[in-house]
Chains A and B, each alone.
Chain A
C-alpha cells in the first residue's frame, strides 16, 4: 500500500524539487550579478544622478562620471602604474615560477618535500604584511615608491600560484612525449621548446593572467609601498574619505572590468588549476 502512494507522489515531488533547484540557481546568479549591475548603473550615470535620490534602476548611459574619472588629477598615471606593476608581476612570476614547476613535475630530488613545504607555507601567511619591513629595505636600496619595487612584492604573492599551477600543467604532459623527442635527436632544451612549450602555452597564459589579476587587485602592499607612484587601488583607497561618490564608483568599475574579462579568459583552467594545486 505504501509503495503505491509513494509511486504516485514521486513525480510531483521530483518536479517540485526541480523547480526549487532551478530557482536556487537563478537566485544565486542574481546574488552575484545584481550588485555588479548597480555599480554599472552608477558608472553610466551623470555625477548629478549618482548623488541624487532616489536612484534610477536603469542606467541613463551618460559618460559624465567616467569623464570626470579620466580627468581627475593623478588617476591616469595611477592606472598606468597599476598596469605596469601587474605586467611586471606577470612576467616575473612566470619566468621565476615555471622552471620550478617543471622541476617538481619531472624530477625526484633530495629536498623536494622541503621545497614544496616552502611554497605551501607562503600561502598560510598574510603576505601583504611583508610590505611593512620591505618598506624600510626598499628605502635603503632606492626601490621605495617605484613600480619595480612594488611588483617584487606582488611577485611574492603570485609565485606560489605560478609554481603550483605550472606544476599541475607540466604533470599533465606525458614524459613519453619528451623521451620520444630525445630519441629523435632533440636535446633536453630543444625537446622542451619544440614539444612541451607549444602544448603548455595556453595554460601558461592562463596562469600569467591569474598573476596579473592578483597584482591588479592588491591593496594593502600597494598603499604601504607607494606614495607618489600610486597604483589605482592605492589611489582610490587613499582618497576614500575625500573623493566624491561618482569618482569612487567609476574607479570601482575600472577595477572590475579587467577582472571580468580575465576570469572569462581563464575559466577553463580555473578548476584544473585548483584541483591539483590542492594536493
Chain B
C-alpha cells in the first residue's frame, strides 16, 4: 500500500510542481497518471523514491515513511521501488546482462558489484527475467545495439530484479511505435499482475491508458483533478484536464481498437 499525503514540491525557481497531492494505491493496483506536459507527473514519481526531494507532505510505502529516511535507509527503501524510464536509461556501454544485474546493486557490496561477482541466485533470476521479457538470446549484447522496444524490456527486467513492491514507470512508451507501445504496456501490466505489484504509470497516450489500466488519475498544474475508472474519461473530463479540443475521436478510436484486440 502506497500512501501520499499532501505531497508538495516547490522548485528553487518558485515553480510549484505539486501541491497537496493525496493518493492511496493498494498493493497490486496499477494506476495511469495522465495530464498535460508540465503537470507534475514526472516530479510526482520522482518524489516517491526521492530522486527529487519533496518540499513537504509524506510518502508511506507499506507503513514506512520515506520522506524522513536517512541516506542508508533510503537506499534500502529504493530497492523496494523499481523505476522504468522514458528513454530507457540503460547504461549504454554495458551489456544487457550487466544492465539487468545493476538492479541488484542495492543488495550487493561495492567490490562484488565492481568485479561483477553477483550471487548465483541473482544471475539465475536475471536469466529468468530475460527469458520472461523475451531477450535471453541478447544477454551478452551491448545495450546500445538494441532497438527501442528491446531496451525498454531490459529496463523492465532491471526494475523487476530488484524484487520491488512498487513500480514507478515514467512515460514507458513515449519513444516507441504504437505496436511496441502496446506490447510494452501489456508486458508491464502482466508482470504486475503476476507479482502483485502496485504501479504508477505516467503516460501521455490516453487511449493506451484506457486500454490497460483500471484506474486513471489526472494531474494538472500539480493538483489531482480526476481519479476514476477509464470509462469515466468523458470528453468533458478530458477538456477539464487538457483544455478544449475535440475528444470524441480519441475516445471513439479506443473503443474501435478494443474491439479488434
State yes or no: do A and B come from one complex: no
